[in-house]
Structure 1
Amino acid sequence: MKNLQKYFYLMLGASLLMTSCDKVENPYEQVATIDIDTTLYNGTWSDYLENEYPVFSTNTNTDVNVLIEDYTGHKCNNCPTAADEAHEIYGNNPGRVFVASIHSGPGSLSFQQAYPNSSKYYTDHTNPEGIAYGEEFESGFGFFGNPQGTVNRSKGNGEMFSLYGVWESRTDNILNTNDLKVNIQSEFNYYDYANGGYLHVEVEKKTNEAIDMKTVVYVIQDSLVDWQLMPDNSDNEFYVHRDKHLGSIDNNPFGITTFDASAANGEKKIIDYSYVLPQELDKDNMHFLIYTYDVDTYEILQVIKQTIE
């Protein structure tokens, strides 16, 4: 293979297994690969590569999709209104708009620390990656607290973050501009006996612009019921939290280097991940959001959804 590049990262955390037997070798295209747990497959790794590793067809997509990152909190009484706005935009643009509800904010603490004696708000919805985003975007990006959000992290009035009242117009602007700089397609091979499997992501550069790009995979829980402070300051025990951000598939908040600025239009990379689902979660109530972004500006260039089936 020409210009074979590999980027090796340890997969950390309770939901990921760290033992790696072999490095993935894909005979088709350039590869950026993580150390993955090949033992999740009940067979030899050579059999997996021969029989189950995907061969991606030509990606004919021409649409730029949108990721709304809704920065939220369950003790934030304005957050349900923002969440409703994000969900409405998502519903009006099926297959084109996706949502990640990120529990974070400037100076965020674990809710277990903040409310140790609470009989209601004891659930810690935060995770290290979400906290990392809050800390990264505290200054210079317009993020001053919840509820705020980003729309592909594109800037309006010089700031990445905005209140929910402008999310729809920012979304429409991106959907109508359709300046596709990168394409993504993916496949997840799930095995019941392992309660996990392998996510394979193909990223293709679609521009001659000199852009350093990284790719991130969010793990999203579709919905859960838990306490939420409402706009009238009442406590809702049965509030449905949607599209909850659980972190990144590899516990790496800012992702894997995919293309450097010298990469040519049409160049492709494949990134391979292994993932074991948390025991308390149902695969039918989870999905991945895969996005590639501009390293210099943080702007999300493309995003797709991958279900677990």
Structure 2
Amino acid sequence: MYITITAQKLEGHYAQSATDFVDYLEKENAGKPTPDMEHFFDQYQDDISAEAVIKDIDGNTAKLKRTEPKFYSITLNPSQRELKHIKDSPEALKRYTREAMKDYAKAFNRDIDGRPVHVDDIKYYAKVERQRTFKGTDKQIRDNQPYATKILELEQQIRSIQRGEHTGNIKMLQKNIQRLEREAPYQLDGKRIVRGMAKPGPQSHIHIIVSRKDVSNRYSLSPGSKYKASEVEMNGKTVKRGFDRDAFYKNAEKTFDAMFSYKRNYVETYTARKTYLKDPKLYFHMITKLPTNEKAMAFKLLQKSGVNTALLRIPTNTIQLTIKAINALKKGIGKAIESGSIGI
């Protein structure tokens, strides 16, 4: 499970309203008949319209400055292994989202009217998306780029010849384009993978738009708080403040495992991701010390995400890998983490 929290973009041309973001989340519904559309939902209701979401989020911003985010975007990104485990069920993902938002509420170190924050205090709307498309940062696009560049140059030459600006053999140029299309290293259904092409396999994920203010429009609940969960003295009173992202990520992961009896491998855990970022050597060491079956699964998951696990089999004393091997592993695992392909 790969979870992100992002504040509303306010700089540049971005508007104060949630309209642009909600419109973006409606993109998969374009051209679909109503029964096939995915609608917004909240903790208790389904089939909420985009117009209602915009009205509620935009109308829940009391006393917020123009420079302050009015809402946050949360994405819950299950790995393909997790999606296969739940049979890529949108209904299962909705149920999970509602439980994960309970974990979100609990991560606030705040009191509302003398009690801890509850999920019913959170104004949010969520939507299941079923597809992902290839982007410029994906390995497939980057490795195919030299071929894409040459193809574009040849296509420009053909247009130039057709306009009478230059002379040349159009048929030969077209054959060269066809050859380059075939030789590109990453193909899907016999076609070169390009930006915007739908990714194969289960790709479902959840987008959540959550208001900065609670449902009463009185309290600010910011998951982007610069303060971790803590208590401070203000005007002679002890005041709770902050949001514990680590607790939210860990608990949301545990919630998925408990709900669906999912056996999570070490490399899929949030703890593993934190270990990798802080101490890569310890991360590699932990993998090599896993029980045989779990280690085999860890290697399988890493290999699927493009990591060269042969480097982890180098015979050493306390996993004292060479600098070259460590850097190669860090590069591969870093890209896998960024794409969420190993679910951490």
TM-score normalised over the length of structure 2: 0.22
* Between structures 1 and 2, the one with greater strand share: 1
Structure with greater proportional helix content:
2
| Structure 1 length-normalised TM | 0.24
Computing the radius of gyration from Cα coordinates, the structure with the larger value is 2
